[in-house]
A and B are shown apart, each in its own frame.
Chain A
Amino acid sequence: MTTAPALEIRELRKIYATGVEALKGVSLSVQPGDFFALLGPNGAGKSTLIGIVSSLVNASSGEVRVFGTDLFAQRSAAMRMIGLVPQELNFNLFEKPFDILVNYAGFYGIPRDEAMACAERELKRAQLWEKAQVMSRTLSGGMKRRLMIARAMMTEPRLLILDEPTAGVDIEIRRGMWRTLREVNAAGTTVILTTHYLEEAESLCRNLAIIDGGRIIEQGPMKALLAKLDVEGFVLDIDGTLPATLPHVEGVALAAEDAHTLDLEMPRAMDLNRVFATLDAAGIRVRSMRTKSNRLEELFVRLTGNKDAA
């Protein structure tokens, strides 16, 4: 017996009333249990895609199935399996976090007694239990983001979709959210994530798709896609000061970042010793070295042609 994909999208198109064609026949498949990244520059169609899957945007044509259930023909059954954490805050700022969670569960038909027990569990997991009875507008930005994750988890969705969940939160909270999402995924929930932080996608996700101009331009396992990179970048810290003219190494791009730092970009297959030998001959002594940039970012920029990150 074959298991239906957690999310299967075929030839999805969206033309807005303004005439803008946001999706031009997107096809995508996310397997159950996956931690999947959907990346793309601003205006690529990510939010439209997520909007259609979460039934906030009407599709122009195409097909969406959630664990085999047709979203357009059996909306209620499909939506019961989805949890959404949107990019923008979309809870009532004049309600208390506890009430927001209990009401949300009620919309999904979960009886109030049970919803209250779930709300306590989820607020504690999100470290918001102490704030359960304050007005939600008084919560910090990070707390509001965690509240939206807690709310989505109230119905124990089989498919959790997060649109920029860590935008604008500090690194400590972000890592806490990563931990929570890893736990949720380990417990069997399929997770789809869009993010501006490409190291976040590289760290969390096993598969990814890159969308640009309303089309999927790359899709597959993270490792396989990263292996496609044929160029690597490094930053070299130099002992002393760089000479006015840098030496030339065939096939290597060298650029001074400042008087003591050298930027190096070279083919993956190339021998690094050749570069060091040339630098040594030019009197440039390398004190330390680090990877120049996030590998996924490199891939992303190449595929999307230097547009805004994710």
Chain B
Amino acid sequence: MSTPSRHPNLVAFATIVRREVMRILRIWGQTLVPPAITMTLYFLIFGSLIGSRIGEMGGHDYMDFIVPGLVMMSIIQNSYGNISSSFFGAKFGRHVEELLVSPMPNIVILAGYVAGAVLRGVLVGIIVLGIAMLFTHVRIPHPFVMLSTVVLGATIFSLAGFVNAVYAKKFDDIAIVPTFILTPLTYLGGVFYSVKLLPEWAQALTYANPIFYMVNAFRYGLLGGSDVPLGTAYAIMIGFVIGLGALGLWLLKRGIGLRS
């Protein structure tokens, strides 16, 4: 006789996370290798070839300056891409029904998928940071800030990817947000430049970009300097986690895009 564990929700959570991690590792050629290649090219071209002619940015070598933004960009793109493709794939293949007919609460479904996506983000972040450390002098003076920023940033974009997957009706729909929203926000979020270089109106716009706060908090963790106060960055990131988390749970409760 099969009996549920004394902690059935914990078992269910671990099952989703394990399945997600196995998927990431099974298709490592699509999940882990491309960000490593892309980042290596970024460091070679923007850092080594062009960066050497730029000189300093924000008090650091240009190559060192772009490391936090590039690592954060990889984390954001991979956590978002993981959950949007995995959850939409489950919807498209109908095996999301395995979750919906099970007794597990909605929060476990959401937490399981988000944890899987955050783990991919962290794994990619470790790979990309490792590559960055081969090219630069970055030495992580504030590891707790770095780690917490990675987890919060990955969580925010995992939740956003989940919302995207819930609403998506076809595979094209999960490509629209990364192409038209995520990439512009990332490139305009201070990855390649200090906000102080921008005219005032552009600075004001940049302060409305959530990625800007993540990149800067992460930059503080890696380089010890940032364009924004750390407290503000954390408050904004936590606010996004709460807001998007509540939205994800509401969508699951109402069954929008999932139940008729």
Contact = CB atoms under 8 A, between A and B. Distances in A.
Contacts of A88: 94
A90 B5 contact: no
B14 A90 contact: no
Given A58-B255, A76-B105, A109-B11, A156 B5 contact: no
Nearest to B15: A106
A171 interface: no
A155 interface: yes
A112 B3 CA distance: 11
B90 interface: yes
A76 B3 contact: no
Contacts of B19: 99, 103
Interface in B58-106: 90, 93-95, 97-105
B29 interface: no
Contact of A90 (B2, B15, B98, B103): B98
B16 to A, nearest CB: 8
A276 interface: no
Contacts, number: 95
Nearest to A89: B94
B90 A80 contact: no
B80 to A, nearest CB: 21
Contact of B100 (A48, A56, A99): A56
B206 interface: no
A56 B12 contact: no
Given A106-B11, A109-B4, A155-B2, A58 B94 contact: no
A154 B2 contact: yes
A184 interface: no
Given A58-B255, A58-B260, A156-B1, A91 B98 contact: yes
Given A103-B15, A107-B12, A92 B2 contact: no
A112 B255 CA distance: 28
B101 A56 contact: yes
B93 A108 contact: no
Contacts of A54: 101
B204 to A, nearest CB: 41
Interface in A70-89: 75-77, 79-80, 82, 84, 86, 88-89
Interface in A179-207: none
Given A79-B101, A107-B104, A90 B94 contact: yes
Contacts of A80: 4, 103
A178 interface: no
B15 A107 contact: yes
Contacts of B1: 156
Interface in B228-260: 255, 259-260
A104 B98 contact: yes
A102 B212 CA distance: 42
Contacts of A114: 2-3
A118 B102 contact: no
Given A51-B260, A92-B95, A110 B3 contact: yes
Given A107-B16, A110-B5, 5 more contacts: A76-B104, A86-B97, A108-B4, A155-B2, A156-B2
Interface of B: 1-5, 7-9, 11-12, 14-16, 18-19, 90, 93-95, 97-105, 255, 259-260
Interface of A: 16, 48, 51, 54-58, 75-77, 79-80, 82, 84, 86, 88-93, 99, 103-112, 114-115, 118, 154-156
